[in-house]
């Protein structure tokens, strides 16, 4: 059977991996860290643990369970997903590319949208969340990328292939890269008439921009979804009763979908996504 790649190793991702590998799929999990669950201490509302369980113990137990069944794990930050030959290409921050016919997105909800005045007012009017999707429309113009880590540099690199004038705006943060044109000033707000025209910095200076690409922190589910044209609402990926997105072969589970942000819900959706991904792969065999 062809390969399934799962993005994220929280409860949703591991649950999907367990059901998919037992269903006969070759499964690889790619994750940078342990997600939101790693920030918790003790879990006391999850079935089967009369005295509760430490979050770190629940995480490690799930990962080891998946490894015992043959699931492969790769530690890497996913920066983007692209359409590839007979499937999808997953790009990581260490310049690796992984190919999959089917994907389960379980990386949680992105909380990396910067708190800058008028940001929402210019979304789709000069402010974008996807360099691959929208970079083409800014050829010959001046654009900025907001962020200071690997994801921002990845978007910057994509844009530099098609646009000459690209600057990373670190918004007052220290950059984690050295080989890019960047501006470290803190941003106060965006301004323009019908579309974005300029960035106003907190020191009172301003700079003209035709477009701004948001790439703060790591790429979350919302950013990854936008790169492939998945339907989203309220920063969540929209799925049907089979945890399928509107893009063939791509499923989503956990905090990145609508509903309660609870372990029980993540495990349930992961199960559905893993089973349905296997069914999808079987139709291609």
Q: To the nearest whole percent, how much of the chain has pLDDT over 70?
A: 98
Give the predicted TM-score (pTM) of the model: 0.78
> DSSP H helical segments within 203-262, as ranges?
221-227
Closest CA to 35 of 265, 261, 278: 261
**What span, in angstroms and rounded, lies between the C-alpha atoms of 249 and 102?**
5
Closest CA to 80 of 69, 96, 61: 96
Angle between helices 11-22 and 263-284 (to 10 degrees): 40
**What span, in angstroms and rounded, lies between the C-alpha atoms of 232 and 44?**
32
- pLDDT by residue (tens digit) across 52-92? 999 899 999 999 999 999 999 999 989 889 898 889 999 99
CATH topology of domain 120-214: FAD/NAD(P)-binding domain (3.50.50)
Backbone angles phi, psi at 11, to 5 degrees: -55, -40
Q: What is the pLDDT of residue 223?
A: 79
Q: Looking at the domain that runs over 3-111+219-284, which CATH code has it been given?
A: 3.50.50.60
- pLDDT by residue (tens digit) across 25-63? 999 999 988 777 776 778 888 899 999 999 899 999 999
pLDDT over 80 at 215, yes or no: yes
Q: What is the pLDDT of residue 40?
A: 75
- pLDDT by residue (tens digit) across 153-185? 988 998 999 999 999 999 999 998 887 899 999
Q: What is the pLDDT of residue 160?
A: 93
SS3 95: coil
**What span, in angstroms and rounded, lies between the C-alpha atoms of 273 and 242?**
7
Of residues 107 and 270, which shows the higher confidence score? 270
- pLDDT by residue (tens digit) across 233-255? 887 899 999 999 999 999 999 98
* Residues forming CATH 3.50.50.60 domain(s) in the chain: 3-111+219-284, 120-214
């Amino acid at each position: 059977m062809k390969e399934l790649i799962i993005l994220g190793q929280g409860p949703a991702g591991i649950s999907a991996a367990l059901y998919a590998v037992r269903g006969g799929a070759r499964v690889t999990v790619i994750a940078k860290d342990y997600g939101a669950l790693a920030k918790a201490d003790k879990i006391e509302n999850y079935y089967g643990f009369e005295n509760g369980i430490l979050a770190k113990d629940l995480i490690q137990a799930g990962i080891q369970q998946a490894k015992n069944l043959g699931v492969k794990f790769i530690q890497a930050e996913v920066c983007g997903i692209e359409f590839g030959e007979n499937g999808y290409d997953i790009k990581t921050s260490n310049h690796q590319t992984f190919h999959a016919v089917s994907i389960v997105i379980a990386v949680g909800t992105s909380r990396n949208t910067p708190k800058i005045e008028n940001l929402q007012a210019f979304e789709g009017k000069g402010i974008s969340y996807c360099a691959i999707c929208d970079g083409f429309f800014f050829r010959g113009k001046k654009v900025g990328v907001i962020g200071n880590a690997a994801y921002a540099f990845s978007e910057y690199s994509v844009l530099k292939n098609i646009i000459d004038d690209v600057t990373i705006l670190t918004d007052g943060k220290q950059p984690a890269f050295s080989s890019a044109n960047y501006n470290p000033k803190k941003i106060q707000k965006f301004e323009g008439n019908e579309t974005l025209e300029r960035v106003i910095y907190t020191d009172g200076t301003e700079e003209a921009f035709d477009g701004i690409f948001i790439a703060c922190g790591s790429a979350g589910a919302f950013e990854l979804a936008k790169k492939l044209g998945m339907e989203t609402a309220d920063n969540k990926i929209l799925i049907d009763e089979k945890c399928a997105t509107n893009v063939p072969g791509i499923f989503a589970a956990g905090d990145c979908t609508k509903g309660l942000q609870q372990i029980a819900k993540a495990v349930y959706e992961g199960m559905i996504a893993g089973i349905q991904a296997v069914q999808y792969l079987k139709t291609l065999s």
